[in-house]
Structure 1
Amino acid sequence: MKNLILTLLVIALFAVAAFYIYDNIRERTHEEKIAEIIHLEDSRDFSAKLISYTQDSVVSIRARAALAVGRIGAKGAGELLYRLVAEDVDDVASVAAFAIGLTGESKYTNPLADLAQTAPSRVAENIVASIGRLADSTSTGIHKELTSFLLHPSPEVRAQACYALFRANARTEATALIDFIEQEKDEEAQLAALYALSRMRVQDAYNTYVSFLADADPFVRSLALRGVGLSDNKGAIHYLTIALNDSDKNVVATAISILAGKEDDTSKKKLAALLPKTKDEKLLVDIINGLFRQNNQTALEDIRYILETNNSPNIISASIKYLAATEQDKAVMKIDSLMRNENRQIRAAAAEAFGIIGSKNNIPRLSILFSDSDPLVRMTAMSQLLDIDSTNLKFYLDQALADSNFVMRSVAIDEITTRKLIAYLPQLRNISMNAANLKSDIRRSLADCAGRFLSDNKNDTNALRILVNASLDKNYIVRKEAIAQYNDILGEDRSDMLRTVQTRFSTSQIEKAIKKYRVNPTATIITSKGQFDLELYFDVAPLTVMNFIDLAEKGFYDNLIFHRVISSFVAQGGDPEGTGWGGPGYMIRCEYSDVPYIRGTVGVATSGKDTGGSQFFIAHTPLPHLDARYTVFGQVIFGMDEVDKLVVGDTIKEILIQEGKQL
């Protein structure tokens, strides 16, 4: 019997060994290779294995590996990608040209410009875009190079040259852009030039801006308005007034925002005159906030009436802040009546309103709000108290550091950092020694705090200990940020401590998803305002889509609110805290791509590279300045009018996933 068992054991071991050898020498399928590349990317593992895939015989494998190298952005990535741009076939060179722009290695801008002169158009397009991402306002030599691409025969390259000049903040080339837009025939290239001029706030292009005010595209009209609004020309107010009656609400919102930034009597009267006739909640909030910015007292009676006849938390919140600024102490009674309102947004606005008044008489009221059950209210109240009642700074910070909510603790550490309160360092050191089970936001705040104090005194033992703890953190981002502090402040290269990332999805899970989603899945988001449908871009951002589907199917998003809605910009939700600080308890890696942000594009909200989780946003308009800076993982394909209706506080009721089929 013993001999039989021993024989069977030997056979089993032999079988395992044989399978292991076979599995390592057999040719991987295409799906297996792609899955492994994605997993290496997710692990932030710039290893020999990933590099070997950039030399694979299959073009699509080399291209996908090149993208992974750029997304990781590790030391040496630029050199490898530049070689692929210069030497590989167009399909690989084009991807590598995009990917090198993600590395931050600005030394490649001039060599890339040389390559772009003779590269095929689709490769040159990505090269020029990457030069814009790698350059900055000091790169005057490369600015001239970029301007030369305004003469390129390809309209796509010319358009990217305009965007690149904007990203590099090449204001010295404004005249070239003005001349270009007057002669250019391609609409997309014209749009890119107009975008660059308005975003760089070039005032000399006034006549150019005016010429686009009647364009059929609402986004073009909005850009033209932004440009016109830069001028103090009386005609600018005339054009802005006309735009207040535009058929597109995003254009109207843009006009309101620009008028709100002007302090002349005419602008104030025009903005105040909108109040009685505006019924749309988002636009009404924009107007009230604009009047607040202007310190416009002419609308006082209208806003009092609106406040008494409206029950929208957004309108009430904006109105009491306006009253606080306009009436000061006279507004206290009204704010008092709202500070115990059941809606936390209104209570937080009451705290902010007391802060706007700025009177020490309101310290007892703010103290009540500082003890509120909701962290958003506590956080807002604390911010006001630290300014109004600075003599009791220590009390408020001590309370916040002991708070059960991680947001309060993180905000307290950030305040200590900003105010350089060195006496707190021993306490923060103790927190860092026992931080393993704390939220990563707190640990990130501690790492940042250590760096700020070490920039003043590199020998501060408490700050050094906090930084050591952060560099050993289990969270990749905390380690990465701590190691960056070592490099930038202390001049020490500790990159060997970074290690790879602990991932959520295995190679086999990714391979299974690749086979499952040969056609991109879709999602239906049902909200308190209506529903809309997304195509989820698994082919562009597979890990992000897998994470989104996983959370949606677990019911994570059910009953969460849209906590951030900005007219003519984005609607953002997916935060269980409802403050902008929350997430699922882990972070996902960014999957940057060359998919542009157009109206309805869905992106991942982050507080830095690789810090996403559950929060997402939907673009109300094209947002080229977000391209390749935030992961694109979907697009609204039906119901964008429902997205336009969303306001702060609207709820996600449910997200339904339809797998592998288009709606």
Structure 2
Amino acid sequence: MTHPLSSRSSLLLLSTACLLNACTPAVPRQTTTVAAPPNRFADATLRLIGTAQDERNTAALLPYLTSPDARYREAAALALASVQDKQATTALLPLLQDPDAATRRASAYALGQTGDSTAAEPLAVQIPTAGSAVQRRYLYEALGRCATRSSLRLLWRNAAPADTSFSTGLAWGLMRAGLRGLTSEAAVARAVALLQPRQPLAARQGAAFALARTPRLDLTPYQAALTAAVADSDPVVRAAATSALGKVKSPTIAPTLIGLVRQDADYRVRVSALRAMNATTYAPVKETAWDALTQPNSQVAVTAAEFFLAHASGEPGRQFLEKATRLTDWRVRATLLAVALKLGGPEQGAIRTAIQERYTAATDPYEKGYLLKALAEDPAAYAFVEQATFAASQPLVVGSYGMEALVAMRRLPSFSETQHGAFALTLRRALRGGDVTIMGTAAEALRDPQLNLRRLLPDAGFVVEARDKLVLPRDLEAWQSLQQTIDYLQNRPATPVPVAKAATHPIDWSVVQRIPARQRVLVRTSQGDITMQLHVEDAPGSVASFVQLIEQGFYDGRTFHRVVPNFVAQGGCPRGDGSGSTDYNLRSEFGDLRYGEGAVGLASAGKDTESCQWFITHGPTPHLDGRYTIFAQVVQGLEVVPKLAIGDKILKVELIR
């Protein structure tokens, strides 16, 4: 897409033209407007394929897999990647040898998305003869998604880490299998070997993510290799490898983590290092974490405060109170106040009073919510938190945080048994109050077997009454929570989630067709401007909905309600607490896209439940690939994204050229 000249450049060119043509009579010039390139859905057949995908109609898609037109074969395969129907496996397998490279990649991606174990061997057979490194990686990733414990070895049957032509594919195959909890000593050893500097960058990234994201690993035997990996030249590798250091169960890892927090230039590595610190390393690392509380990067400071909340012990709460009062970032301060109250000591009451006074004085609803979360560390604050939660005419956000705080308080071992009856009455009040977030949180507590509330509230009648007041699909998350509680109280099997069908909100192809292939969106925030390019050709339904909401001014004035350091900044909720939605749901569109830095995805409560909330990633988050719709990419203002904090405003969103 061509860009208009800036006003300054235009003036310079005008001045030059005047000098060159000072003696030449002015001649009127004709101007032409270059039309934005249309997207691919000008093709009626591609719209039919898109509709069949949206309707989850496998039978309608299968004939296109044998179309003489490669565009339709590829489109149908990618559509089946969103449908995720194992009934399509047999029809997709022949396309692994399709003459068209894009179709071969699409078929491998679709097979991986189905997760069909019967596809593992056919995928592995294709790896040695793959025509390119790109195709080999697609095959490996699909194999990692389809492998079982018995077929995991297929990943390295054809290659060793020493063969760099296979390294990238193998690393990402190990990563995809690891996300599913599939690993072995041989797999871990190969991933560690793939971290070596001589390996290609993409291989090192995949291996680092494999070690970081595979659950329940003990990487203590590989400590030396991992320590070498954190010196990688690429910050993505360093950040992921640093996360893996948290799986080293030895305090000897502490000096490495300290060095990363103090010296690494990339904030994402520093965040990962703080998260890798744990109770076994608390004594040697706490001074470093203490200093990190005042780092200029708020994400690092927040993570340091969360480290203390998770691991501090045996220290007086007073010192954390004193530190908190000197901090200016309200989220860091509130988290440290929670640490102070959790540790308590002789001045427990004074700490609680200080937090309550700060709550009363605070004006930001998110700060007030975090202060209620801090008070959740002390059951003596129950009455204060309950009153704040149900206070009239307050922002919805405050009530949402307050209900979470009450439930967290009930889970404390120090919560007195004499208060159990009062808590049961609070839950009943919450479920009858009509606020969807409070209702959902209360219902979740009611079915928690550890809280054993069935004896106090055995009758599901009032929960059924509350559920029947909800409106679907707008209140889907609350409906899910209440229905699960009803099933729990009535000892019934889980009720299927009522996912909205395509017929309730079909893709508006007239809207899709008027969106250029590289349409851009300007998001003006209180931290600066962000420009995103929409992926209308990969996620037409999602983009059409987003564009229509922009044109209605839906996002103007909303907030970023959720910010997780080195993960995402999320906004667009009409309630401001993450529970809001439109009155319709979208179907998931799992295009062949990856969550790199600045990817923009739709939040959901499960497949095919997307609506209006969206998030931007701080860095690569490959564990989200193929699970959450990617509908845009940040192309300008990437430096603004890590500055976004909870409560920052989405001032205006507009379509631009």
| 1:363 corresponds to which of 379, 382, 397 | 382
Q: Percent identity?
A: 22
Kindly provide the amino acid, as one letter, of the partner of residue 592 in structure 1.
Answer: F
Give me the whole-angstrom Cα distance separating, in 2, the residues matched to 1:649 and 1:499: 33
Read off the aligned partner of 1:543 and give its amino acid letter. G
Alignment pair present for 1:417 and 2:453? no
What SS does structure 2 have at the residue aligned with 1:585?
coil
**Superposed counterparts of 1:143-158, under 5 Å:** 143-151=152-160, 153-158=165-170
Inter-partner Cα distance in structure 2 for 1:289 and 1:164 = 29
Distance 1:552-1:297 versus aligned 2 partners, 3 A rule: farther
1:92-143, Cα deviation, whole Å (9 max, x unpaired): 23211101222233332233323444443444432321222233xxx22221
Change over 3 Å in CA distance of 1:288–1:41 after alignment to 2: same
CA distance in 1, matches of 2:633, 2:200: 25
Q: Which of 537-546 and 644-653 deviates more?
A: 537-546
Q: Which residue of 1 aligns with 2:121?
A: 110
Residues 1:551 and 1:185: Cα distance change in structure 2 (over 3 Å): same
The 1-side partners of 2:623 and 2:429 are apart by 39
Deviates more, 1:160-169 or 1:393-402: 160-169
1:187 aligned to which of 175, 180, 201: 201
In structure 1, the partner of 2:82 is 71
TM-score, normalised by the number of residues in structure 2: 0.82
Aligned to 1:50: 61
- Tell me which of 209, 219, 222 is aligned to 2:239: 222
Aligned to 2:274: 256
Kindly provide the CA deviation profile for residues 18-50 of structure 1, in whole angstroms up to 9, marking residues without a partner as x: xxxxxxxxxx99711111211221222334x33
Which residue of 389, 395, 404 corresponds with 1:374?
395
Residue aligning to 2:17: none
Question: Does residue 93 of the first structure (1) align with residue 104 of the second (2)?
Answer: yes
Residue pair 2:591, 2:629 contacting (<8 A) in 1 also: yes
Aligned to 1:208: 225
Q: Which amino acid aligns with 1:245?
A: Q
SS of residue matched to 1:593: coil
What SS class does the counterpart of residue 359 from structure 2 fall into? coil
In the alignment, structure 1 residue 329 sits paired with structure 2 residue 349: yes
Residue number in structure 2 paired with 1:6: none
CA gap 1:344/1:436 in 2 versus in 1, 3 angstroms: closer
Residue matched to 1:351: 372
- The answer for the alignment partner of 2:437 in structure 1 is 407
The SS at the match of 1:332 is helix
* Structure 2: distance between partners of 1:263 and 1:214: 21
Relative distance call for 1:213 and 1:181 in structure 2 (3 A) is closer
Match of 1:442?
Answer: 478
Measure how far apart 1:350 and its partner are: 3.0
SS at match of 1:535: strand
Distance 1:176 1:499 in 2: 44
1:621 match: 619
Q: Distance in 2 between matches of 1:86 and 1:116?
A: 11
Describe the shift of the 1:304–1:545 C-alpha distance in structure 2 as closer, same or farther (beyond 3 A).
Answer: same
User: 1:529: how far off?
Assistant: 0.9
Map 1:375-390; keep pairs closer than 5 Å. Answer: 375-386=396-407, 387=410, 388=415, 389-390=419-420
Residue 587 of structure 2 corresponds to 589
Output one character per residue of 1:506-556: Cα deviation in whole Å (capped at 9) or x when no partner.
34444x24xx42x31111111111112112222222222222222122211
Alpha-carbon distance change, 404 to 568 in structure 1, aligned in 2, over 3 angstroms: same
The answer to whether the 8 Å contact 1:260/1:291 transfers is no
Q: Please give the secondary structure, in 1, of the residue aligned with 2:81.
A: helix
DSSP-derived class of the 1:586 partner:
coil
Question: Take 1:645 and 1:148, find their aligned partners in 2: how far apart are those partners?
Answer: 45
Shift in alpha-carbon separation, 1:502–1:117, aligned structure 2, 3 A:
farther
Any conservation in 2 of the 1:162–1:189 contact (CA below 8 Å)? Answer: no
Q: What is the CA–CA distance in structure 2 between the aligned matches of 1:404 and 1:619, rounded to whole Å? A: 33
Identify the residue that residue 24 of structure 1 maps to in structure 2: none
Alignment partner of 1:339 is 2:359: yes
From the superposition, tell whether residues 617 and 343 of structure 1 become closer, same or farther in structure 2 (CA, over 3 Å).
same
TM-superposed CA distance for 1:330, in Å, is 3.2
> What is the number of residues matched between the two proteins?
587
Deviation readout 1:435-485 (Å, 9 max, x if unpaired): 55672333333443455457x456xxxx9xxx5xxx7xxxxxx335xxxxx
Q: Aligned residue for 1:129?
A: 141
Per-residue CA deviations over 1:160-184 (Å, capped at 9, x if unaligned) read: 3332342343133212333444495
8 Å CA contact 1:325–1:357 kept in 2: the answer is: yes
Q: Is structure 2 residue 408 aligned with structure 1 residue 391? A: no
Identify which range, 228-237 or 526-535, moves more after superposition: 228-237
Give 1:540's aligned residue. Answer: 538
In the alignment, structure 2 segments of 5+ residues that lack a partner are 1-39
AA matched with 2:349: D
RMSD: 2.9
- One of 606, 609, 618 as aligned partner of 2:607: 609
Q: CA deviation at 1:612?
A: 1.4
On the 8 A contact 2:459/2:489 being kept in 1, the answer is no
Question: SS where residue 376 of structure 2 aligns?
Answer: helix
Any idea what SS the aligned residue of 2:368 has? helix
The range that moved more, 53-62 or 383-392, is: 383-392
Matching of residue 571 in structure 1 with residue 569 in structure 2: yes
Secondary structure at the counterpart of residue 647 of structure 1: coil
Offset of 1:298 from its aligned partner? 5.8
Question: Aligned letter for 1:427?
Answer: F
Cα 1:506–1:560 shift into 2, 3 Å = closer
Give structure 1 stretches of 5+ with no counterpart: 1-27, 472-477, 481-497
Residues 549/334 of structure 1: CA separation in 2 closer, same or farther (3 Å cut): same
Are residues 1:246 and 2:247 paired?
no
Question: What amino acid is aligned across from residue 271 of structure 1 in structure 2?
Answer: A
| Structure 1 residue 306, shift from structure 2 partner | 4.6
**Distance in 2 between residues matched to 1:621 and 1:299, nearest whole Å:** 37
Per the TM alignment, residue 321 of structure 1 is displaced from its structure 2 partner at its CA by: 0.8
CA contact (8 A) 1:297 1:326 kept: yes
Change (3 A) 1:439 1:363: same
Q: Distance in 2 between matches of 1:263 and 1:234?
A: 5
Partner SS for 1:584: coil
Q: How far does the alpha carbon of each residue in 1:529-587 deviate from its partner, in whole angstroms, 9 at most, with x for none? A: 11121122222222222222221222111111111112222111111222121222322
Equivalence map 1:439-518=2 (5 Å): 439-449=475-485, 451-452=487-488, 456-457=491-492, 467=495, 478-480=497-499, 501-510=503-512, 512-513=513-514, 516-517=515-516
CA distance in 2, matches of 1:262, 1:552: 49
Greater shift, 185-194 or 73-82, is seen at 73-82
Deviations 1:237-274 (A, max 9, x none): 22222212222222222222223554442122332244
* Secondary structure at 1:424 match in 2: coil
* AA in 2 matched with 1:502: T
Per the alignment, do residues 104 and 154 of structure 1 end up closer, same or farther by CA in structure 2, a change over 3 Å counting? closer
- Secondary structure, aligned partner of 2:151: helix
Give the secondary structure class of the aligned counterpart of 1:648.
coil
CA gap 1:64/1:337 in 2 versus in 1, 3 angstroms: same
Give the 3 Å change call, closer, same or farther, for CA 204–394 of structure 1 in structure 2: same
CA distance in 1, matches of 2:501, 2:539: 23
Closer/same/farther in 2, CA of residues 620 and 499 from structure 1, 3 Å limit = closer
Give the direction of change, closer, same or farther, for the CA distance of 1:400–1:218 in structure 2 (3 Å limit). same
- Give distance in 2, aligned partners of 1:78 and 1:198: 31
Distance in 2 between residues matched to 1:29 and 1:398, nearest whole Å: 51
Which residue is equivalent to 1:491? none
The letter for the 2-side match of 1:505 is I
Task: Evaluate the alpha carbon distance shift between residue 433 and residue 88 of structure 1 in structure 2; reply closer, same or farther with a 3 A threshold.
Answer: farther
